[in-house]
């Protein structure tokens, strides 16, 4: 079979078709590359969508965790504050109750001691007055005893003188015996008065002894009163010490309360700083989210454009393919016609 010969026009058409085929192959390769690029862009857009969804979930979880953390922190601070406040209030109430009881007890003891002291002072004053009166009575009794002793001495002298006179003269003794009755009566009266004075002195002595005993008991009572006063002073010092201790506890509680307030202020400042940092982080995430959304939108737009370009390229490729097929058919028919003619 001889090779068909073509005219110049047919050769030119064949060359044009060959050039078009080469161009179509290049367009087809470019379309494949565009399809691959579109597939990569689609995968990248899907990746950015997934990143965007994950970032949104992270932001939501972060906000929920921040809210829960803030609520729990506030509840914990309030719980600790009220717990410590209740404990300190109970301590202060117990201390105030004990101080009130001790103050009432000490006031009662003080009133009792004051009344005992007044009574003891009154008794001491009475005893001093009685002692002065007893001293005066003793002085008077001593003077009476001295007078009685002088009377007895005079009586004894008179008796001796009388006896000597009786021994010297019997007649005179008879007269004197009749006259000696009055001195004898006086001597008997003096003896009775002396015995009565002695009895009265013994009674006074007994009374003085009893008063001395009473005074000793009063001294013991005064000693006991001084001991009670010492005990009262000790109790008062102890109460003052406890009051001082309570004041120290109150100052310590106030200092701890101020420290707690300062700590809470620092915590609030840290929370505010953390919230500001979280706000900045949230803004950063928001900007990143907006940027990701913009990139995703741009990728979607680019993907849509690439899909449109791919559709147009596919249409062009199909048209070129049909035209090429028609050219091949034409060439094939031309060859058949040429073979049939020659």
Nearest to 102, CA basis, from 225, 232, 229: 232
- Give dist(CA 56, CA 66) in Å, integer: 15
- Is the Cβ–Cβ distance between 141 and 205 less than 8 Å? no
Q: Dig out the tokens for 60 from the structure.
A: 């939501």
Nearest to 109, CA basis, from 230, 217, 246: 230
Tens-level pLDDT at each residue, the chain (342 residues): 444 455 677 677 777 777 777 887 787 788 778 778 877 877 877 887 787 787 778 778 878 877 887 888 787 787 777 777 777 778 778 877 877 787 787 778 778 877 877 877 787 777 778 778 777 777 777 777 677 777 777 766 766 666 666 555 544 444 444 444 445 555 566 666 667 766 776 776 677 677 667 666 666 656 766 776 677 677 767 767 776 777 777 678 778 777 877 777 787 777 677 777 767 777 776 777 777 677 767 767 776 776 677 677 677 767 777 776 776 666 666 666 656 555
- Give dist(CA 96, CA 293) in Å, integer: 68
The length of the chain in residues reads 342
Cβ-based neighbour number of residue 299 at 10 Å: 19
Query: Which DSSP category does 2 fall into?
Result: P
């Amino acid at each position: 079979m001889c090779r068909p010969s073509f005219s110049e026009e047919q050769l030119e058409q064949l060359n044009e078709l060959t050039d078009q085929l080469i161009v179509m192959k290049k367009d087809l390769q470019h379309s494949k590359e565009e399809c691959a690029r579109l597939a990569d862009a689609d995968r990248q857009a899907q990746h950015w969508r997934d990143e965007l969804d994950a970032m949104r979930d992270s932001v939501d979880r972060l906000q929920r965790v921040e809210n829960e953390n803030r609520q729990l922190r506030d509840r914990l601070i309030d719980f600790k504050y009220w717990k410590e406040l209740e404990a300190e209030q109970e301590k202060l109430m117990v201390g105030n109750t004990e101080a009130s009881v001790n103050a009432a007890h000490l006031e009662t003891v003080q009133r009792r001691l004051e009344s005992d002291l007044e009574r003891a002072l009154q008794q001491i004053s009475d005893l001093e007055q009685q002692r002065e009166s007893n001293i005066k009575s003793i002085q008077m009794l001593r003077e009476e005893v001295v007078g009685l002793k002088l009377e007895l001495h005079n009586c004894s002298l008179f008796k001796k003188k009388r006896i000597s006179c009786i021994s010297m003269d019997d007649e005179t003794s008879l007269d004197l015996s009749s006259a000696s009755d009055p001195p004898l009566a006086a001597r008997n009266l003096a003896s009775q008065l002396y015995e009565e004075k002695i009895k009265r002195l013994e009674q006074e002595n007994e009374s003085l002894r009893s008063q001395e005993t009473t005074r000793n008991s009063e001294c013991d009572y005064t000693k006991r009163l001084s001991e009670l006063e010492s005990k009262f002073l000790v109790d008062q010092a102890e109460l003052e010490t406890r009051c001082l201790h309570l004041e120290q506890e109150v100052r310590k509680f106030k200092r701890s309360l101020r420290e707690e307030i300062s700590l809470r202020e620092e915590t609030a400042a840290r929370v505010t700083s953390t919230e500001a940092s979280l706000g900045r982080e949230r803004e950063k995430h928001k900007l990143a989210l907006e940027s990701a959304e913009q990139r995703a939108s741009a990728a979607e737009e680019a993907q849509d454009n690439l899909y449109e370009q791919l559709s147009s390229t596919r249409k062009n490729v199909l048209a070129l393919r049909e035209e090429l097929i028609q050219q091949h058919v034409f060439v094939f028919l031309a060859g058949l016609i040429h073979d049939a003619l020659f």
